[in-house]
Amino acid sequence: MANVFKRFTQREIGNTLTQIDSYAVASATKATVIGLTCSNTSGDAVDVDVTLNDGTNDFYIVKNCPLPSGSTVVLVGGDQKVVMEPLDLIKVRSSSATNKVDVIMSLLEIT
C-alpha cells in the first residue's frame, strides 16, 4: 500500500456547493483529510457550509459557520480528521454569490 500526501485548492467559491478541485477518492483507494481551511477573501462576512458527499448524499461537516471579512477558519486539522471512502468528495459553499471563499484541502491518500 502506498501513502501519498496531496493538496487541493479551490478559489472564489460562491453560493453553490462546489467540489474541491474536482477531487473524488478513486476506487480501491481511501483518503484521510488532514487539513481543510476556508478563507473569506471578500469585504463582507459570509457563512460557510462544508459537506462530505458519499456519491449520493451530502453530510455536513459544518453548517452556517460564520466567517468574518478577511478571516480564515481551520475546519479539519490537529485532532480532527475526516476519513473518506471510494467516490467520496468534499464540497464547500458560501452564503453569498458575490462574497466568496478560498479553500485548501490536504489529505493522505492510501492506495
- Strands 72-76 and 30-40, by their bridges, are antiparallel
**Average pLDDT of span 14-42:** 96
Give percent above pLDDT 90 in the chain: 98
pLDDT over threshold 80, residue 44: yes
In degrees rounded to 5, what are phi and psi of residue 21? 50, 30
pTM of the model: 0.94
Rg (CA), the chain: 14
pLDDT over threshold 80, residue 107: yes
Q: Which residues pair with 54 in a beta bridge?
A: none
pLDDT over threshold 80, residue 39: yes
Residue for cell digits 467559491?
13
Say how far apart CA 29 and CA 110 lie, in whole Å.
Answer: 6
The per-residue pLDDT for 99 is 86
